[in-house]
Structure formats: structure tokens, C-alpha cells
Amino acid sequence: MSRIAEEIADQLACDTIAAAEELGDERLIEQVAAAIGTSSPTTEELFRTLVRVRLAAARGRKLLDQKRSASAPARE
């Protein structure tokens, strides 16, 4: 996949995740993916992959931050 396609799909993934959180609409990601898929199944898969990567990274970051916060008093 070209770099430009990846950049576009990644920006759309970021924007869609933010909008889904803001609107409280978990289905928004699926709806956007389906809309993309009607014209480009390849771009749809790239979008879905980037959404999964970003959501997984956010979960990992949250856990890491929680662990650091929990151990902060012990280090002082």
C-alpha cells in the first residue's frame, strides 16, 4: 500500500476514534469502515488495521500510566 494511502487511512482512523469517543457511538468505526469498503476494500482493511493498532496502543498506554501512577508513592 502506498504511503499516501496509509497516511490518509491513519488520519481517518484517528478522527473516527476521536469522534466515536466524543459521540459515545461505538458503531461509528464500523459504519465508516463499511462506507470506505464500498469503493476500496483495500483501504477499508488498512483503516480497520490502523484502528485496531491505535486502540490497542491506547489500552497499553492506559495500563502503563496506571502502573506508573500506582508505584509513584512507593518511589518517593
Tell me, yes or no, whether 50 lies in a domain: yes
Counted domains in the chain: 1
Q: How far apart are CA 10 and CA 27, in angstroms?
A: 18
Tell me, yes or no, whether 76 lies in a domain: no
Tell me, yes or no, whether 66 lies in a domain: yes
The set of residues, in sequence order, having a beta carbon less than 8 Å from that of 44 and lying 6+ positions away, is 33, 34, 36, 37
Tell me, yes or no, whether 39 lies in a domain: yes
Q: How far apart are CA 76 and CA 61, in angstroms?
A: 23
Q: How far apart are CA 71 and CA 67, in angstroms?
A: 6
Tell me, yes or no, whether 16 lies in a domain: yes
Q: How far apart are CA 63 and CA 43, in angstroms?
A: 30
Q: Mind listing the pLDDT tens digit of every residue in the chain (76 residues)? A: 689 999 999 999 999 999 999 999 999 999 999 999 999 999 999 999 999 999 999 999 999 999 999 988 755 4
The pLDDT score that the predictor gives to residue 72 is 80
Q: How far apart are the first and last CA of the chain?
A: 49
- Tell me which residue range forms the domain holding 50: 3-70
Tell me, yes or no, whether 75 lies in a domain: no
Tell me, yes or no, whether 28 lies in a domain: yes
The pLDDT score that the predictor gives to residue 74 is 59
